Chain A
Amino acid sequence: MKFFSTIAVQTTRNLQKTWPTQVMTLMTVSLSVLIFSFFFLIYTNMIKTGEKLGDDLRLTIYLEEEPVLEMQAQLVRKIINFSPVEEIRFTSRDDAFKRLATQLGDNIDVLDDLDASFLPPSIEIYPKKSLSTLAQIQRFSEYLSTLPGAIKVQYGQEWVERFNYFTKLLRIIVLLSGILLIMTTTFMVAYTIRLAVVARQAELEILRLLGATNNYIRTPFLIEGFLQGILGSSFGLLALFFLYRWIQLRFSGPGILQLVEFTFFTPSIIWIIIAASIILCMGGSFSSMRKFMRI
């Protein structure tokens, strides 16, 4: 108990003396957490959207001729041998024509002079969820185009590829902002503590001569690191939450946010970000103190 009260007094005294630098560091940590968590929030939401869109993924093979029953069975076997699928559906020329007519609705008259033969028969394939990456889909699509009688394979390539590249870009941004977060928090806190150590060199030397233990000298600095971590990340996440609420209110009408279900972090992710910030800040503080203790 005496240890804690003594350390509390020492920490309060330190904070009172160095508050301008502490505030600057706190702002840097908050900003770093805000930048990182902003991109991370977009990334997690894009991943979620990607998963949702993946559920609706369908590959269509357009065929030259309608396959007879034996041929259908052979095609199914070949497809399943390459990759397991949820469902395979054959669509004849007539079925395709009927579907188009239904889709045209009141404009059905455009089909008046046409018969079903202008539409190709097709096979619709609904792949399993395990087929999730663009490379896997591309490979599957290439294989399907080699099947006997196949003219063309479609799965909304352009859209899927763009979405995939956007997710990749986001992943890089999240990675970079993560590195930025690690560097700023660790180095800023480490340098703030180092500055404080240098500024208080004389005091620390006297404390050592008076018999202060390493814990007595180190603990207040570690507490400062802890406070920087917990307060910095909390302020950063709070700012992000207000930004998120503002975006929700501002763009609540029809648009991309209606298509994408935009959600905030789950409590567990919030705790992980706060814990990571605390560890980084305390790590920075510890490394500075270790250098001083070695002197």
Chain B
Amino acid sequence: MARQDALQGSLPLLVLKLLARRGPLHGYAVATQIEGMSDETLRVEEGSLYPALHRLEEAGWITARWTTTGTGRRARVYEITAGGRRQLESEEARWKAITAAVGRILKHA
């Protein structure tokens, strides 16, 4: 529970960033990459990942299509859209502002 809370609503931001940097990924790759890059600090719950992905898709920030993987299975891969990139920029800026503010308070309080 504690580890999931660590995400704190930043999952969409992370998803957008990942897709922007690493191109089309399926849901499982998104989850493992977030976990791997954060040294397992951030664990992605499947229960929130897929609704989040679908919400992003609904908002038009990412698109999805079915592809075939190297092992010959059908997988749904997601890709960031132009609108998604703009959203990512503003989300990232907001995130930085918030963490900076929280950092300042932690430091000076």
Q: Do A and B come together as binding partners?
A: no
Q: Which positions in A face B, CB cutoff 8 Å?
A: none
Q: Which positions in B face A, CB cutoff 8 Å?
A: none
